[in-house]
């Protein structure tokens, strides 16, 4: 699991080590230099003979970059330093100059940017209070223009984070310098895992500088190994009821396919049994999945709303109330979210809402929180935490990176592996898959009662599985995603 920590927690953890004289900056800068050398090599260049531009801000981020420049200059690179702040990290500058680097006149930015094959972005890191002020904002804008104009795009190594991103909220409040590789010191920060900021980070590498953080992570990303830990593989004691029964209140004459796709997601996700409470489309679903059992009945999880128009949502009220009364998990997708506009003020965390940004804006507005779709997409971590707080439910904000928040614990940020997943019906498949995972542990969740972090963790696991199943180098249909879920789960469980 990738765990990202707030900048304040990182800075607090650094302090005693710095006071004890632990050479954190030396370790950090060596890591930056190592990544820079390797990236040059990847492009068929050697450090010797390469021209490298050090973008040195006025703080320790600049210090890291300057010491990295010293290492690279000693290895034969031609190193130019652009001092971008009123102040500079004096020892770092001294080290770089002693190693043969030279300070550029300020009006040489464009020329130097074009001449350098690699830039090291040490303008600002943990100490940035976004948005960027002038002259840094103008410098970053100019550098982005030069990068776009350069015949060969330079390699940009971001020290700790790309300068200008919202390091803790994942926002992009102003200009920011896109990176090829981000070298995160000690631990990732939230802006490296959550969009829109994460889109500017390039590949994230974490440099071990001997720092451990005791605080809980603010954002986390599950890997396949974590998913294997979360899933419960059936054994000889299992039967279809112990593996979890999912009740689907999905699909309608207007959107019959959603019933088929949620059924495919639930069956692919390993439900012991799938019940369908949508008589008007049952014949269609049975044609694809004869395994489906028709009608209501005892279940360990319910999935409601996919493909159900708002005009038809009253039929979902009974299964929703039953899930809440019997305290088993319920996924509220698409049309079912409209039920929450009046009533259901305080949902349990076993209610998992799966809005996209527009639906989330409507949900928040109904709770008196006026965030627009644009504001949600600009700072999704804040939006998904707010939604979990005002509803009490677990929130899955679907997007190219799914963001998942429960009543406590980290926000999970689960990126798509490829973007062909953005196709009609993919959300229906996700809802069914999530229902299967929740049903698999539904009894445990019910016994544990509300406020149980498990639904958010399972929703993150479902997102990882869905991204894995949807990973493709070309177009993929939602039905194909459903068909590939079993292999994605087997891959997580057995490598």
Ligand X SMILES: NC(=O)C1=CN([C@@H]2O[C@H](COP(=O)(O)OP(=O)(O)OC[C@H]3O[C@@H](n4cnc5c(N)ncnc54)[C@H](OP(=O)(O)O)[C@@H]3O)[C@@H](O)[C@H]2O)[C@H](O)CC1
What residues form the annotated binding site for (6S)-NADPHX?
A: 60-64, 125-131, 160, 258, 307, 356, 428
State yes or no: residue 85 binds ligand X (CB under 6 A). yes
Select from 71-79, 115-123, 456-464, 472-480 the region that touches K ion (CB under 5 A): 115-123
Residues tagged in the binding site annotation for AMP: 427
CB atoms within 10 A of CB 245: 25
Select from 55-63, 113-121, 220-228, 376-384 the region that touches ligand X (CB under 6 A): 55-63
State yes or no: residue 88 binds ligand X (CB under 6 A). no
As measured in angstroms, the least distance from the Cβ of 58 to ligand X is: 3
As measured in angstroms, the least distance from the Cβ of 128 to K ion is: 8
State yes or no: residue 200 binds K ion (CB under 5 A). no
Angle between helices 454-470 and 426-440 (to 10 degrees): 140
Nearest to 158 by CA among 84, 232, 239, 61: 61
State yes or no: residue 226 binds ligand X (CB under 6 A). no
As measured in angstroms, the least distance from the Cβ of 45 to K ion is: 22
Separation CA 418–CA 170 (nearest Å): 20
User: What are 483's two structure tokens?
Assistant: 């068909």
Please name the helix (run of DSSP H) or strand (run of DSSP E) that holds residue 321, with its range, or none. Answer: helix 317-325
By CB under 6 A, name the one of 4, 28, 54, 157 that touches ligand X: 28
Phi then psi dihedrals of residue 463, to 5 deg: -70, -40
Which one, 50 or 163, has the nearer CB to K ion?
Answer: 163
As measured in angstroms, the least distance from the Cβ of 147 to ligand X is: 20
Residue at token pair 């299992």:
238
As measured in angstroms, the least distance from the Cβ of 24 to ligand X is: 4
- For residue 136, the partner it binds in ligand X, K ion, none, with Cβ less than 5 to 8 A by kind, is ligand X
State yes or no: residue 133 binds ligand X (CB under 6 A). yes
Please name the helix (run of DSSP H) or strand (run of DSSP E) that holds residue 274, with its range, or none. Answer: strand 273-276
Which one, 158 or 197, has the nearer CB to K ion?
Answer: 158
Which one, 132 or 397, has the nearer CB to K ion?
Answer: 132
> Which residues, 63 to 82, sit near ligand X by CB under 6 A?
64
State yes or no: residue 159 binds ligand X (CB under 6 A). yes
From edge to edge, which strands make up the β-sheet containing 78-83?
102-103, 78-83, 51-56, 118-122, 155-159, 181-185, 203-207
Which one, 200 or 352, has the nearer CB to K ion?
Answer: 200
State yes or no: residue 129 binds ligand X (CB under 6 A). yes
By CB under 6 A, name the one of 5, 53, 58, 270 that touches ligand X: 58
Alpha helices (H) in 341-441, listed in sequence order: 357-366, 373-378, 380-391, 426-440
By CB under 6 A, name the one of 132, 192, 230, 481 that touches ligand X: 132
Which one, 175 or 410, has the nearer CB to K ion?
Answer: 175
As measured in angstroms, the least distance from the Cβ of 127 to ligand X is: 2
As measured in angstroms, the least distance from the Cβ of 13 to ligand X is: 10
Nearest to 280 by CA among 304, 261, 259, 252: 252
Separation CA 117–CA 146 (nearest Å): 12
Separation CA 415–CA 198 (nearest Å): 10
Q: How far is CA 122 from CA 162, 208, 311, in A?
A: 9, 18, 55
- The residues with which 276 forms a beta bridge, in sequence order, are 248, 294
By CB under 6 A, name the one of 80, 160, 168, 359 that touches ligand X: 160
Separation CA 162–CA 174 (nearest Å): 12
State yes or no: residue 18 binds ligand X (CB under 6 A). yes
State yes or no: residue 136 binds ligand X (CB under 6 A). yes
State yes or no: residue 125 binds K ion (CB under 5 A). yes
- For residue 28, the partner it binds in K ion, ligand X, none, with Cβ less than 5 to 8 A by kind, is ligand X
State yes or no: residue 121 binds K ion (CB under 5 A). yes
- The single-letter DSSP state of residue 20 is T
Angle between helices 256-268 and 478-494 (to 10 degrees): 10
By CB under 6 A, name the one of 9, 14, 377, 428 that touches ligand X: 14
Q: Binding mask 185-224 vs ligand X (x if CB under 6 A, - otherwise)? A: x---------------------------------------
Dihedral Cα 329, 334, 336, 338, nearest 10 deg: 130
- For residue 121, the partner it binds in ligand X, K ion, none, with Cβ less than 5 to 8 A by kind, is K ion
3-class secondary structure, 56: strand
As measured in angstroms, the least distance from the Cβ of 411 to ligand X is: 21
Select from 153-161, 242-250, 296-304, 391-399 the region that touches K ion (CB under 5 A): 153-161
Phi then psi dihedrals of residue 377, to 5 deg: -70, -25
| Interacting residues of 16 by C-beta distance below 8 A, sequence separation 6+ | none
Alpha helices (H) in 75-213, listed in sequence order: 90-98, 109-115, 136-149, 190-193
State yes or no: residue 365 binds ligand X (CB under 6 A). no
User: How many alpha carbons lie under 13 Å from residue 376 in its C-beta half-sphere?
Assistant: 27
Question: What's the length of the chain?
Answer: 495
Contact positions vs ligand X (CB under 6 A): 14, 18, 24-25, 28, 57-62, 64, 85, 124-130, 132-133, 136, 159-160, 185
């Amino acid at each position: 699991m990738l765990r990202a920590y707030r900048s304040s927690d990182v800075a607090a953890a650094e302090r005693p080590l710095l006071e004890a004289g632990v050479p954190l900056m030396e370790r950090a800068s060596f890591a930056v230099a190592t990544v820079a050398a390797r990236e040059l090599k990847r492009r068929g260049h050697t450090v010797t003979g390469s021209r490298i531009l050090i973008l040195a801000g006025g703080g320790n981020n600049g210090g890291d970059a300057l010491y990295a420049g010293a290492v690279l200059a000693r290895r034969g690179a031609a190193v130019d330093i652009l001092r971008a702040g009123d102040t500079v990290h004096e020892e770092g500058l001294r080290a770089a100059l002693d190693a043969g680097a030279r300070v550029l006149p300020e009006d040489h930015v464009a020329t130097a940017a074009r001449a350098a094959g690699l830039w090291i972005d040490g303008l600002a890191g943990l100490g940035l209070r976004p948005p960027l002020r002038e002259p840094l904002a103008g410098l970053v804008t100019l550098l982005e223009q030069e990068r776009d104009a350069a015949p060969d795009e330079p390699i940009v190594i971001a020290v700790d984070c790309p300068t200008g991103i919202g390091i803790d909220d994942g926002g992009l409040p102003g200009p920011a310098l896109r990176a090829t590789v981000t070298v995160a010191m000690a631990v990732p920060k939230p802006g490296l895992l959550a969009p829109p900021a994460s889109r500017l980070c390039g590949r994230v590498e974490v440099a071990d500088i001997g720092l451990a953080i005791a605080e809980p992570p603010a954002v986390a990303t599950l890997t396949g190994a974590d998913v294997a830990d979360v899933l419960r593989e059936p054994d000889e004691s299992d039967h279809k009821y112990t593996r979890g029964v999912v009740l689907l209140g999905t699909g309608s004459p207007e959107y019959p396919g959603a019933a088929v796709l949620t059924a495919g997601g639930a069956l692919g996700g390993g439900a012991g049994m799938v019940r369908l409470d949508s008589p008007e489309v049952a014949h269609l679903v049975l044609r694809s999945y004869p395994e489906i059992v028709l009608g209501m009945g005892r279940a360990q999880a319910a999935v409601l709303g996919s493909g159900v128009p708002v005009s038809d949502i009253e039929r979902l009220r009974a299964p929703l109330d039953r899930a809440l009364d019997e305290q088993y998990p319920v996924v509220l997708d698409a049309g079912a979210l409209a039920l929450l506009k009046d009533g259901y003020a305080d949902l349990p965390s076993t209610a998992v809402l799966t809005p996209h940004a527009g639906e989330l804006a409507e949900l928040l507005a109904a709770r008196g929180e006026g965030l627009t779709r644009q504001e949600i997409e600009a700072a999704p971590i804040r939006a998904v935490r707010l939604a979990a707080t005002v509803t009490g439910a677990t929130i899955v904000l679907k997007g190219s990176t799914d963001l998942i928040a429960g009543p406590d614990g980290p926000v999970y940020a689960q990126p798509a592996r490829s973007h062909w997943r953005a196709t009609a019906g993919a959300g229906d498949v996700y809802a069914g898959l999530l229902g299967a995972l929740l049903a698999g542990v539904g009894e445990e969740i019910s016994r544990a009662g509300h406020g149980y972090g498990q639904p958010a963790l399972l929703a993150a696991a479902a997102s990882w599985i869905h991204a894995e199943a949807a990973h493709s180098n070309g177009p993929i249909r939602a039905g194909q995603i459903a068909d590939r879920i079993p292999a994605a789960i087997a891959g997580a469980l057995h490598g």
